[in-house]
Amino acid sequence: MIEERKRYIPEFNDIPAARAKMSELPVEKRIKDFSEVEFVLGKDAATDEAKRCLSCRRCLGCKLCLAACEPRAIDFGQPEEPIELTVDSIVIAPGAEEVPAKMRKELGYGKFLNVVNGVEFEAILRDDGPYGGLILRPSDGEIPQTIAFVAEGKNALTYSMKEMLVAQKQIPHIQLILFTREEPAALEGITFEQRKGEVLEVKEKENHNLLIQWREGGEVKEEECEMVVVQTPLTLAPEVVNVLNQLDIAKPAPFWEVLDGELVASGKERIFFAGGIGK
């Protein structure tokens, strides 16, 4: 704790840069008029300060939480210590990530704003997501009336179906188009159009709508939509695999293919996995 600053800010060694200092009017000039004493940050300094604040990665040490905690339950000097807990069951909910190598550049991901991957679309559906649970096009903030899902793989197809179900609940009259070379399983409460074939390329039009070029049989066709969700196969993140190795648990069945509230056995008694998108 640094009291000399008259602010209770602990030192952090991993902050990438020092705080930008606001320049001030010299004292000899202050006494002559009523000009503003503190100047604003310049464009470059303000940009650097914003990057510094966004990259500190943890508590800034303002101690406002300590001031607001009436029971005084926060102790910044408390050392780390192992805690043993006795529980009836353990539920592991590690989440999953998409396999970057499976994302074909022809699909336009990373090139067009309105092409998102499955994990990003799941975040959009969440109440604590970037749009507060609203489904909006990243390019202009408009509510899309047509969304195409491109499923690249078996568990990608299952996950796309569940995301479409949630999307249709939020926008009842939305047009959903599913591009897949497999036969999707029936899922109650969802209406969609299937395009059974291989997606060749996704292009962007001047209005930021997307033109999907796909092959059905030997014929090349085109379909226009307002937003595209590319779902590639999901896998466990490397850090999750490390945890499983420490617990001596084999890689689980794809728990992300089940709905929330359903558990997947881990192979060890009373240890389960949970995941998947909400009902």
> Looking at the structure, do residues 104 and 89 belong to the same domain, yes or no?
no
Structural domain range at position 202: 100-232
> Looking at the structure, do residues 121 and 183 belong to the same domain, yes or no?
yes
Q: Write out the two tokens for 40.
A: 């604003």
> Looking at the structure, do residues 174 and 115 belong to the same domain, yes or no?
yes
Pairing state between β 263-265 and 234-235:
unpaired
pLDDT exceeds cutoff 60 at 16 = no
CATH number, domain with residue 139: 3.50.50.60
> Looking at the structure, do residues 123 and 219 belong to the same domain, yes or no?
yes
Element (H, E) at 170: helix 154-170
Concatenate the DSSP letters of all residues of 193-248 into one string.
Answer: EEEESEEEEEEE-TTS-EEEEEEETTEEEEEEESEEEEEPPEE--HHHHHHHHHHT
Domain count, the chain: 3
pTM equals 0.57
The SS3 call for residue 120 is helix
Chain segment 63-103, per-residue pLDDT in tens: 777 777 787 888 878 888 888 989 999 888 776 676 655 67
Chain segment 178-229, per-residue pLDDT in tens: 998 887 666 677 889 999 888 999 999 999 999 999 998 889 999 999 999 9
